[in-house]
Chain A
Amino acid sequence: RDFNERCAQCSEVNWGLTDGGRYYCRSCHNVTERTREVVNTDFMTNSRVQTISKGSRKQEKTDRGCEWYVCEGFQLVLKKQAEALEALGVCPQMKDEVLYNFWRRYLQKSKQAYCNRPAGETVKALSVCESSTDVDSEPERPSLLHLLSLSESEGGLQTDCSFASSMSKVSESTSVYSGSVDGSLYLMKNQKKKLRMTMPMTLSFCYMALLWLREPITLSELLRFVVEGHIPYLNVFQHFPEKMKLCGLDLKIFCVESWPVYEEVYNKMLELAAFLDLPRFPDITDSCFLHPDMLCIKYLMEANLPDELHNWTCRVVKKIGIGEVDFLTLVPGNKSTRKVKYDILAAAVIVVVLKLLFLLDDHYEWLLSDFAEERNKNNKEGGLYFEFKKWYEVVKHSLDVEQKKLDEERAKYLWRCEKPLFYSDKNKSKVLKRRQMVVNLQNQFGKLSSSVRRAEKPNPSSFQLSWSEENTDGSCFHGHSLKGILQEKCGLLTAMNPDYWLCTVKLCNEKLCGHLAHYREVDFPQSYHFVLRLFSFLLRIQPSYIHDEVCMIEHKLFNKKLYKKLKYNTVLRK
C-alpha cells in the first residue's frame, strides 16, 4: 500500500484496487492507469478485503470464476456437513456455535487468511486476522512433481501421472496451477506446525464438536453415515458455488478417493484439540450416551444378547474404573492418559464379559449351550435360558447376509459425480468426452442390469441389526435368562465358568508399534474371533482395534494377579 498520490479528480488519498490491478479512487471512483507491479502475496490486508466486498466479483469477465481461498472451501464443506448432521437430529448449536467457533479458532491459530463472504452466503463474516508472516516476498516456483508428491497419504488423490506428464510438457518455469488462489502455497509449505487442513480433518472437526456437545453419535457411527452418504464428504465440492472453480492442485486438496479411517480421524481430532488449546471437554457422566454403561445397552441390543448381560458390563466397568468421569472426559494436550474411544471400549467390555461367562475357548461355551438346550427342552416355564449355540447360528446368519451386502455395496460404489474435474483447461475436453462415454456406458449396461439401482439412499439408522421380541421363531435373545450359567456364592451371583484366558500376557508399547497387542485370527479361538467379527462389522473397524481394547481391559481387571503370576501362565483362576 504504497500509493500515496492524490487523486486527479478529487484530490483524496483513498485508493483501492480493481481486479485488473489498477488503482482507483474510492471517493470518486476514478480509475487510474497505475497498476501494482509487485505481486504482493500479502493478501489479507484490509484493503484487499474491502476491494472484494465492493462487489468487484460481479465484474468477472474470465470464466475462471472468482478468487477463492482454500480455507473458504473447507468452510463450505464444514457447513454442509454440519447441516447434514442437523438433519440427522443433532442440535443446531453444533453448527451455529460449537463448530463455527472451533473453526474460527483454528483459522486464528493457523494464521490463515479468510475474507468476507459475498452477499447471499449465510455464514457470518469472519474477522480478519493478522496478516500472514511466513510469506516470502518472492513467491517460490515450486516444482510441480514435488507438490504432487506431498500429502499422498492424507486421503488425497493418488498421483495421477497423466496429469504430471501433461503438465511437465509445459515449461518448467510456469507457475503451478490451481483454481484457488493459494492452492499451491497450501500444499507446498511445511505446515506441520500449523496443522494443515485436509478432508479427513473436516470429520475430525465434526466429531470434536459432537463430543463437545456430548451428542449421541459415536465416531464409528459418524463415519458410517459418511460412507452411507448421509454426510457430505466424497464429491462435496459439487456444492461449491459455480464461481468457485476447482482445478489443478485444488483437486489434490478437495477430492478424496478413499474413505477415512477411524484411527486417522480420531488421532487428528486429538491433535486438533491440542492445537486449538481447548480446555477440558464437558464431562462424560454416567447419564451420557457415550458412557460405557449406556453404549453397552445399545450394543448388547444390537448384538442380540440378553439384557441381563448389562449387569455384568456395569460390574466390569465399575471394577476397573472406566466409568469414572475423569477417565472418560477428554483433556486435550494431556499426553499421559490413554485417550478413550467410547464405541470400541464399550464393545470390548462386552467381549470381556462374554469371555468371563462363556470362556469362549471353542469348548466350554458349547457345553454350557448343550445344558441350556436340555433345560429349555424339558422346562418351558420361567422363560428360556440363553443358548449360545442358537444365538451363534442366528447372529452368524444375519451377519453373513449383511456382510455380503456390505461387500457388494463397496464393490458397486460410485466415486465420481456429475461435476467434472480437470487439472487444467488443456485436458478439459478430454475429461468431458470421457465423462460422456462413461455416462453412455452406464446407461447401456444399466438397462441390462438385474435390479434398478435405488435412487434414494436408505434412511440413516442407528441400528444395523435389529431383533424383535415379537418374532415367534425365537430369533431374539434379549429376554433370555443367564440362569443356566450363573451360580450364587456368598450372596453374590458369579459365573459358573471358573477360568479365563488372557488375550496377551504382556502389552506392547502402543507408541512404538501402534498397537497394544497383535491380533492374528489363527492364534485365537473361533468363538472369540466370531465375537470380534461381529463388533468389527457393527463399528466398521478392524478386529484388531477391538482386540487392543480387550487386552487393555483385561490387564486392568487382572492387574493384581498379573503381578503375582509372571510369565508362563496364561490361564488364571478368578
Chain B
Amino acid sequence: SSHEHRLNFKKSKEACLSYIQDAMLQKQWKRAAEFLTCYVESLEKDYSREPIGPSEMIWRIGTEILCHHSHSSMKEFNCFMEQMKTLGVKRYLKVCLEHVFHLLCNGQIDEAYQNLSLAESWRYGEQTAIQDKEMKLIQAYRGLLDYYSWSKQKNILLEHGLDGFADLSVEQEMHSCFRKAAVNLKEIIKIPGVWDLFVKCYVDLLEFYGDHNEACQVLNEYAYNSKFPANPNAHVYLYQFLKRQGESKKSLISALKILHDIVPSHELMIDFNTMLQKSKKRKKRRLGLEVIFAALDYAGWKENVKAWSCLARQVKQIVISKKHLDWIKQEWNSRKDWWPAFHFSRYLAKRNWQENKSLSYEKALVAGILLGKDCKYFKYVSHQGCKAQVKRFRMLKKFVNRHNPVYLRISG
C-alpha cells in the first residue's frame, strides 16, 4: 500500500503476489508473467515457517500462466514442470501427477505414460511412504493408460478378425496390458472414493475375459459399500451390467431403487417405471407411479414424450380398472397446487400442440384425468385435435368425457 514506507523483502514479495493474483483473475497473462518474473527470487529465501512456500506458489502460478498464455508451448511447459519437480521433494509425486494430467489433456499419451512409469519408480527415503496416496494415484492412472492400450489392441484384433498368427504378438501384448491394468485398477477402487472411470474400465476388462463374478462383486461393492460416497453412477453401472448379463427383473429393479432415491430425475427412471408398471406385485406398480410422477417434477422432463406416455399409460390403466384411484389421489395431492401452472397452462397447450402433437396428446390425457375435461389444457388440445380431425384426439375426448367423474373423486 502507498502508506507502507518501510519496505522489506517480505512485504515487497507479498505485494508482488497480490499483483500476480489480480492479473490472473483478470486473465492478464502477460502481466502475471511479468510479476512472476520478479517473484521467483523468493526461492532464494527460506520460508520454512510459512504454510505455503514460494516453491509451491511458483509451481501453481507458473502452471496456470503457461496453460493460458498465448505464446507458451508444451515444450516450455514440460521444461517448467521438470524444474518444479526438483524444487520440492515433498511435492514430487503431486507435481508428476499434475504434469501427467496436462499431457493427457494435450493428447500426449505416450509422454504421459513415460512420466507415470518414471514416477512410479521414484524412491526417496521416508517420503515414499508419506506420499503413498499420490503413488497409488500414479499407479491407477498408469493402469488406466494400460487399459487404453489394451482397448486399442483389442479393436485391432476384432477388426482383422481371426487372421491367425500375424496377430499373435498383438494378442500377447494385449493380454500383458490387461494384466498390468487389472492389477492397478483393482487396487485403486478398493480405496473409498469416486472412481467411475476406473471401475468402468476394470469391469470392461473383467467382462471381456469372462470373469463376471468378479465384475459383479466389484460393482456391488462400489454401489453398496457405505464407506464409499453416495454415487448415482455406481448404481447405473451395476444396472447396466445386470442388464447385459440378462438378470431377472427383480434384480434390475432392486438396482434402480436406490438410484430413484438419490436422483429421482435420472433418465433411467423411464426404464424403471416401465418395469415396475408391468410387475404383478401391487407394491411395485405403486412405486412405478411414484417414480414417474417424481421424474416429471423436474423441468428437464417437461417435454419428454416418453415420460408422459408412461404416466398416461399408467393413469389410463388405473382409471379403466377403477382400482387404486387413491394412488393417483395421493400422488396428485402434493402436486395439484403447482403442476397446473407448471405443465398444463394454456400457453403450454398452444406450444405443445404446435411443436409436438404426440406430446400434447399424452399430456392432454393426463390433464384430462387429473384436472377434468374443462381444464385449459385439455380443452385447447382436444379442440385443436378434433378440428384437425385426428382420430386419436377424438378418442381421447370421448375417453376423458366418459371418465370425468374420476376427476371429481381425485380432486375432492
Q: Which of A30-38, A159-167, A286-294, A480-488 contacts B (4 or more CB under 8 A)?
A: A159-167
**What residue of chain B has the Cβ atom nearest to residue A227's Cβ?**
B7
- The A interface, classified by DSSP as helix, strand, loop or mixed, is helix
What residue in chain A is nearest B6 (Cβ atoms)? A261
A449 x B34 contact (CB < 8 A): yes
Taking A411-B12, A412-B16, A438-B41 as contacts, is the C-beta distance between A444 and B7 under 8 angstroms? no
Q: Are B40 and A442 in contact (CB under 8 A)?
A: yes
Does B58 contact A441, Cβ atoms closer than 8 Å? yes
- Please give the distance in Å from B178's CB to the nearest CB on chain A: 42
* Residues of A with C-beta under 8 A to B83: 437, 440-441
Interface residues of B in 38-74 (CB under 8 A from A): 38, 40-41, 43-46, 48-49, 58, 62, 65-66, 69, 71-72
Q: Give complex CA distance A453, B34 in Å.
A: 9
**Segment touching A, from B25-33, B148-156, B396-404:** B25-33
For the complex, count residues of B whose C-beta is within 8 A of A. 44
Which A residue sits closest to B69, measured CB to CB?
A448
Q: Inside 8 A of A116's CB, which chain B residues have their CB? A: none
- Distance A438 CA – B12 CA, assembled complex (angstroms): 17
B window 284-335: CB within 8 A of A: none
Check A466 for interface membership: any CB of B closer than 8 A: no
The CA of A540 and the CA of B48, in the complex, are separated in Å by 33
The verdict on A258 contacting B2 (CB below 8 Å), with A411-B38, A435-B44, A440-B83 known, is no
- Interface size on A, as a range, is 35 or more
Instruction: Give the chain A neighbours of B34 by CB distance below 8 A.
Output: 412, 445, 449-451
Chain B residues with CB below 8 A from A450, complex form? 30-31, 33-34
CB 8 Å contact bits of A448-460 with B (1 = contact, 0 = none): 1111010000000
The dominant DSSP class at the B interface is helix
CB-CB under 8 A for A449 and B44, given A411-B16, A437-B87, A444-B76: no
Instruction: Specify the chain B residue showing the minimal Cβ separation from A158.
Output: B10
| Contacts A258-B6, A448-B65, A450-B31 given; does A411 touch B19 at CB 8 Å | yes
Chain B residues within 8 Å of A, Cβ to Cβ: 1-3, 5-10, 12, 15-16, 18-19, 29-31, 33-38, 40-41, 43-46, 48-49, 58, 62, 65-66, 69, 71-72, 76, 79-80, 83, 86-87
Give Cα distance in the complex from A444 to B79, angstroms: 10
B12 nearest in chain A by CB position: A413
Query: Are the CB atoms of A259 and B8 closer together than 8 Å?
Result: yes
Contact A441 B40 (CB under 8 A): yes
Scan A244-285; emit 1 where CB is below 8 A from any B CB, else 0.
000000000000011101100000000000000000000000
In the complex the two chains form, is A408's CB within 8 Å of B19's CB?
yes
Report the separation of the CA atoms of residues A437 and B44 in the bound assembly, to the nearest whole angstrom.
10
A533 partner residues in chain B, CB cutoff 8 A: 2
- Which residue from chain B places its CB closest to the CB of A443 in the assembled complex? B37
Flag if A543 contacts B3 (CB, 8 Å). Answer: yes
Whether A403 sits at the interface, judged by CB under 8 Å, is yes
Which B residues are CB-close (under 8 A) to A407? 1-2, 15
Q: A573 CA to B9 CA in the complex, in Å?
A: 49
Instruction: Please state if B9 and A258 are interface contacts (CB–CB under 8 Å).
Output: yes
A residues in contact with B41, CB < 8 Å: 414-416, 438, 442
Contact partners of B58 in chain A: CB under 8 A: 441
Residues of B within 8 A of A453 (CB): 37
The minimal Cβ–Cβ distance linking A152 to chain B, given in whole angstroms, is 12
Given A411-B35, A450-B34, 7 other A-B residues pairs in contact with their CB atoms under 8 A: A403-B2, A407-B15, A411-B19, A434-B44, A438-B43, A448-B71, A543-B3
B8 and A449 form a contact (CB under 8 A):
no
